[in-house]
Structure 1
Amino acid sequence: MSVRLRFALACAGVFLVGGGLLLTAVYFLVRSNLTYRADLITPKSITLPNGRGFYRYDDYYEVARSRTLQVMATYQRDTLTNVRNIGALAVLAVTGGAFGLGWRAAGWVLRPVTAVTETARRVAQSHDFAERIGYEGPNDEVKELTGIFDTMLGRLARSFDGQRRFVANASHELRTPLTINRTLVDVAVRRPDATDDVKRLGESLLLVNARHERLIDGLLALAEGEQAVLDRRPFDLTDVAEHVLDQAAEEAAEREVTIHRLLDAAPTTGEAVLVERLVQNLVENAIRHNQPKGEVWVTTRRRTEQVELVVANTGLHVPSYEIETIFEPFRRLHGDRLRSDRGSGLGLSIVRVITEAHGGTVLARPREEGGLTITVELPLDRSAA
């Protein structure tokens, strides 16, 4: 139950218990006042006005007493019934009114908390830690809570900005020496007097250098992908997928992997360059983590509220308990940490952060025949749809 409902039920419960106790007290009080008293029954003799003594009417006493008791019993029963029934209805009516008033009062009291919740939801969805609540109410508990929340947002903003700047700066700084190394090794390998040993060593160094370059590019893409996409522009996910598949056709042919395209219109909004990187990582993973003469299926389609990109492939069986770990940085399945031609272990991490930056979701599940099926859902562009 929500806090508002619990508050309303608490108010109704207090009035119900209090009203029940009050009704019980009134009931027994009325009952005690209506109890039979012998001195109130018609006496056996009365004093006559002329002073001639007592006049006895024993013959009529029992009849009068019986009639009086019947009248008193009927009056007592009817009165107590009315007190019980009308009082119970009154208690129930007051309880219902207390529930309504408690509901309204709880809404009024929780209105600042609702504003805090809406702001927190916007920050969580947009990743824009520059936004603040800025509550300007009285100095109460809600004011203290919003102040703490704003302070936390400020610290998170500084932390995330510092982390992104560090990764971006480190990636840019490391690109220059790697580029120089690649050039020097390439020149040394291409020299006419280069021996076979030098050429083999150079090819190995070029492979290691290429892996480090992909790692740095992945770190930079990871840092950029964690930022929220504020400038959303419409594009078709199908066009992006076709472009990526055309580029990956040569690598798929070299690895003898067959690609099946099932591409329908899928209009969405966001940063097309980042989404292209997302699709590229999924397609490259599907090709490289595959078996000889394997298959890859790439599907785009439009749903009611979102568009979907589904990339499935054949390959080794993936345990269900390893599904969540594949989206963590530098995690590889089956302990494959030495094959540099299969990437740096950042591909699916980049996929997840780019998807979340666009307000989407990504889900992976193992195929019974082996391999994975990864589904990416992005918001639908309603204007194009």
Structure 2
Amino acid sequence: MKWTDSIRGRLLLWLGLLLAAVLSGFGMAAYQLQRTQLFAGMDEELAELVSQLSQEARGTPPSGGREGREPGFGGGGPGERMPRDREGPDRDGFGGFDEPFGPPGPPPDFEDRSPDDRELKISSELMKRLGDGQEAGFAVWRRGGTLRGSNLIPVPNYPSRAGHDTLVRFRHRGHWREAYHFTEIGECVLVGRDGSEEIAELHRAGIRLGLAGVGVLAIGLGGGWWLATRSLQPIDEMSRTARRISEGRLSERVPVGSPDSELGRLATVMNTTFDRLESAFDRQRQFTADASHELRTPLTLMISEAQTVLSRDRAAADYREAVEQCLEAAVRMRDLTASLLQLARIEGELGEASTFELRACVRTEIEALGPRIESSGVRVDTDLLEVVCLGDAIRAGRVVANLLGNAVHHTPPGGRVVLSMERDDVFVVLVVEDTGSGIAAEDLPHIFERFYRADKVRSRSEGRFGLGLAICKAAMEADGGSIMVSSKPGSGTRFEVRWKVDEAEC
């Protein structure tokens, strides 16, 4: 069996996929947040350096020195940052600022001055911050792309400009992070620094996040395996118990942990099923043993009679007597097998949606037993109702015939048998009550069992098999009804048979 075919395997698969999706999303979000924070700090520093370098590059007079600067252009002194939005920097997708540097309009002090004639001079303080070109550096281009000055080796490519854009833009060049800005007169100022340390830190953070995710996934799968195994343990125990029962150990039962839980209710239902299964097997074994015993007696009698008459020559009367005894035994076997087939047929039938009129059924069976009733000296009284019941008319006739026959048989001459009916909106009850000898209390729980006889010696001698009441019970169960008995020794017996009333009658 594949591991995905088991409930445990499918649960772990779904748990693993869910954990992997959640951890992947969380890891990507955390990685992106750390990346944004790392480059945000770097971009802030580069933007400040570009601002200062741009001011010094534009404020340097042609012959050098700072004396000739006009303070009105580009803000204050050389160390001052270029003006920004009063709400703070608002970067675009590349981290650029939305406001151009400097006041709007053409710079007044450069209207008659050629940028190609100006010498690039940078203060020593700013040069310390710009670096020596190894880990950080700068480059300034004149309008048109001619390099004005740089300490970067090799010199980076001249950035492209979209229209008259004067925002600070950012770009990656290998592991370098660079910020550049085009001034109003067309010069380009670029500052860059080596981002290897930040990139390495970002990679280390990614590895830490990955290892943490793998650890959480492993712990989650381990916990899921333990929880699934513990939750499915009762199912495994049920499977093992069912296997032992299938091997013939019918007394085994599934342990019920918590009766109110789903598995507890399932275990209870299974145990009930196993109880019925064991009971059915017990009845089958008892039935087989009883049927074998009942058939063995007439067969033994037939064999014995045949052997006796064949042992020597006898008179015709002896042969006739032997044949009559064999015939009597054969009739007994025929009646027994007919009763067994009748019982088996009833138990194998499914209750069909049919109806019958109960009063007519009872009268038919009374007429059929008329000769036997007359010869017994028992009076039969009736108090019947006209009612249509749900069930099979043939099965109902067998029930009435068996109960009436038993009542007449166990009632002494001069006694009385009463058949009456009671009904409500759902059920009708046929009551068969006699004034016979009654049934002992210890026999009452067993009278519906196959081959059970309260008076075993008398019943066997009279050719009774103990199947009549078993047939009655099977017939009532097939029709969705019930049969009950109450009795007092010496006072008679009362049977109550209950059928459902047809809805059209309600």
Q: TM-score, normalised on structure 1? A: 0.49
Which structure carries more relative contact order (alpha carbon 8 Å, separation 6+)? 1
Which has more radius of gyration? 2
- Greater fraction helix: 1
Q: TM-score, normalised on structure 2? A: 0.38
